[in-house]
Amino acid sequence: MTAPTAAGAGSWLSDKAIAPGDRLIVALDVPTAAEALELVDLLGGHGSFYKIGMELLAGGDFFPLLRTLHERGKKVFVDLKFFDVPATVASAVRGMARHPATFCTIHGNDGMVRAAVANKGHLKLLAVTALTSLDRHDLDEMGFACEPRDLVLSRARAALAAGCDGVVSSGLEAADLRAELGPRLLVVCPGIRPVLNDDDQKRTVDVRQAFLNGADHIVVGRPIREAADPRAACAAIQSTIVGLFDRAGTAP
């Protein structure tokens, strides 16, 4: 991983041995497995890693879809943000470890995180820092009274100390994470907007900047799903990723 110079050259571009195609995680934030698989089929070889979360869980299609994606050779990011007393978090993570997921999100204090880490099995645990839909005003309303950057760094330090594999963070804070914590943590960045957006995501960056700031993976949902041509939108993002990592010589 190359640190930026004082003149701004260079970057925090990840040098982890991750296939370029796996650096993009496509968010399947839809209510049914049928809709999710329709998008998976449409994207074809341009999508190898998918996120599934609470919407599919509430609709009842979560675990059947997880198994189907695994059977199709796709990687799965389980985004359920487990948050409860440590014993319950431990049981939930232990149960999730019986399924073929790659990443799993958790939330909460040190006790909750350590309970999850002790039961993660093959899962890579990602601690949620601050949602990309939150800005300073939102954090003030929630009683944190701090800048998003400060909350992200505080939670990331605690996650690393507790044994987490990585964090979920806006790309805006990724460079600060790398500067302070180095390459050890996986940094997964949602809120990626290839163009100017007017939705509920407030702390956003584009694809290129997220990776230059130190992201290992990016999570992209609406800019792909709602594009006039989702396959072309996904292919364009993958092309940007390949260009970045091929030039840097970090592609496996």
CA atoms within 13 A of residue 46's CA, in its CB half-sphere: 21
Quote the pLDDT of residue 49.
Answer: 98
Quote the pLDDT of residue 252.
Answer: 47
Q: How far is CA 181 from CA 15, 136, 142, 214, in A?
A: 15, 23, 26, 11
Quote the pLDDT of residue 20.
Answer: 96
Region of residue 145 (phi > 0: left; psi between -120 and 50: alpha; otherwise: beta): left
pLDDT in tens, 186-202: 999 998 866 544 544 44
Quote the pLDDT of residue 202.
Answer: 47
pLDDT in tens, 33-88: 999 999 999 999 999 999 999 999 999 999 999 999 999 999 999 999 998 999 99
What is the 3-state secondary structure of 138-205?
HHHHCCCCCCHHHHHHHHHHHHHHHCCCEEECCHHHHHHHHHHHCCCCEEEECCECCCCCCCCCCCCE
Asked if the model's pLDDT at residue 30 lies above 90, the reply is yes
Determine which one of 74, 81, 124, 202 is catalytic: 81
Would you list the domain boundaries of the chain?
20-248
Please indicate whether residue 51 is annotated as part of the active site: no
The residue count for the chain = 252
Cα dihedral angle (43, 36, 96, 215), rounded to 10 degrees? 40
Buried-exposed string 227-246: b where 16+ CB fall within 10 A, e elsewhere: eeebbebbbbbbebbeebbe
How many H helices and E strands in the chain?
A: 11, 8
Quote the pLDDT of residue 248.
Answer: 59
E-only strand ranges, the chain: 24-27, 49-53, 75-82, 103-106, 124-128, 166-168, 186-189, 217-220
Asked if the model's pLDDT at residue 251 lies above 50, the reply is no
Is residue 108 very low, low, confident or very high in pLDDT (cuts 50, 70, 90)?
A: confident
Q: Which CATH architecture has domain 20-248?
A: Alpha-Beta Barrel (3.20)
Distance CA 77, CA 168 (A): 12
pLDDT in tens, 110-168: 999 999 999 999 999 999 876 555 454 554 454 554 566 677 788 889 999 999 999 99
Higher pLDDT pick, 205 / 116 = 116
The model carries a pTM of 0.87
DSSP 21: G
Quote the pLDDT of residue 172.
Answer: 86
Quote the pLDDT of residue 109.
Answer: 86
Q: In percent, how much of the chain has pLDDT > 70?
A: 81
* Token digits of residue 232: 């072309």
